[in-house]
Structure 1
Amino acid sequence: MPERLRHWLLLLLFIPVLGWTAEIDVANVQLSPGDDGYVLSADFRFELNPRLEEAVSKGVVLYFVLDYEMSKARWYWLDEKLVSRSLTYSLSYHALTRQYRLSTGMGGLHQSFPTLTEALAVLARLRNWVVIEKGDKTVRTGELYLAALRLRLDITQLPRPFQISALGNKDWSLASDWKTWQAALPALPSPTASAEVK
């Protein structure tokens, strides 16, 4: 086989792999103090491809998982992971009511929407997720930490037949890269200060 032809064949083989970039963009990440601890807000930009839209409309529940981590750098060893949180959303369609339902792991809350677009708009806006509870002694105010956030479609929670077909199938691949940033934790508001504001 000529060298030039071999080069082009190898390139064609790797194009799909190189094309598997993140399908979800993470933006406007904010970690701020709240009444119950440190809360996280962020925006996600993404769309469901036709395969996923069809699956939802036919009754398949899609599970999206938010992962948050916070670690501290150590010069003598691997970084020390201090905080690890996950939040699961389930997106489903109910043919009887013709409504899309979005449920979260936060107290089993759910909302119904007439369109898929409206349901995805809410999924794309994370607001006030408590990732570090008040009184958590693993982190301290004023210190610098490495924070990381991602959103992904969790194919392991799909029905078994879909899990098998989803393996290695780009149509079922929907995730963001880890969004990382350096975070210094400000002091939490004191109970007296919160009462005065009210």
Structure 2
Amino acid sequence: MILRLFRLIACQLLLAFACAQAQASDGIEITRNIIEASEDGYRLNANFEFQLPHGLEQALQMSVPLYFTTEIDVTRPRWWWTDERAVSQRQTVRIDYDVLTRQYHVRVMGSLQQNFTTLDEALSMIRRPSRWLFAPKGTLEPGKTYNVTLRMFLDRDFLQKPLQVNAFNNADWRLTSNKKNFTYKAE
């Protein structure tokens, strides 16, 4: 009897661990994170890997726009005080579906909109965004090393209020990446 109970508990723990691992792998993964110095300033060259959960696909098909926000924080470490924040920027991309034209629209907020016929093409623009100018030239001091934190998430703050309440109770609406930390030596 005790052996049977022990086996049952062990199986439940293994199942819970497997479910937690599967749920963790369903988020957004940052597969590329490179900062490039250009004549205009500093650009982020990043790639993100994720699959849109079924619930989000359904919401998109019902013309509910989804917003994906990328955050970058650049700090300079100091031994004598807290780290100095050099740059803290956000970029939000909106994706929506037009039922009448049967097209997906993707727009970087404050920029032009692009239209796509398939969801995979539209998501490709979000997964592999163009090089984002996140800081003008002269913001970072050449030769200094900076700590960079990068993350992407489904931004529920842009949703309509009734959807925000539902989004907090539904796991499909918690699509996010872990924070990716790396260092960058300014050029």
After TM superposition, the score normalised by the length of structure 1 is 0.82
Kindly provide the amino acid, as one letter, of the partner of residue 48 in structure 2. Answer: F
Unaligned runs of 5+ in 2: none
Distance 1:75 1:21, change over 3 A: farther
Q: CA deviation at 1:41?
A: 0.6
Matches of residues 54-93 of structure 1 in structure 2 within 5 Å? 54-93=58-97
Write out per-residue CA displacement over residues 26-61 of structure 1, whole angstroms, 9 at most, x where no aligned residue. 122111111211111111111101100000000100
> After TM superposition, what 4+ stretches of structure 1 lie above 2 angstroms from structure 2?
2-5, 14-22, 74-80
Identity of aligned residues (%): 34
Q: Report the counterpart of residue 176 of structure 2 in structure 1.
A: 175
Question: Quick check: 1:44–1:125 contact (8 Å CA) kept in 2?
Answer: yes
Matches of residues 149-188 of structure 1 in structure 2 within 5 Å? 149-186=150-187
Q: CA deviation at 1:77?
A: 3.5
Report the Cα distance in structure 2 between the residues aligned to 1:26 and 1:122, rounded to whole angstroms: 15
Q: The residue matched to 1:127 in structure 2 has which SS? A: coil
Matches of residues 92-171 of structure 1 in structure 2 within 5 Å? 92-105=96-109, 107-136=110-139, 139-171=140-172
1:51 to 51, 55, 64: 55
Unaligned runs of 5+ in 1: 187-198
Question: Quick check: 1:64–1:152 contact (8 Å CA) kept in 2?
Answer: yes
Q: CA deviation at 1:75?
A: 2.5
After TM superposition, the score normalised by the length of structure 2 is 0.86
Question: Quick check: 1:40–1:126 contact (8 Å CA) kept in 2?
Answer: no
Kindly provide the amino acid, as one letter, of the partner of residue 153 in structure 1. Answer: L
Report the Cα distance in structure 2 between the residues aligned to 1:34 and 1:74, rounded to whole angstroms: 26
Report the Cα distance in structure 2 between the residues aligned to 1:135 and 1:144, rounded to whole angstroms: 14
Question: Quick check: 1:70–1:82 contact (8 Å CA) kept in 2?
Answer: yes
Question: Quick check: 2:87–2:135 contact (8 Å CA) kept in 1?
Answer: yes
What is the total number of aligned residue pairs between the two structures? Answer: 182
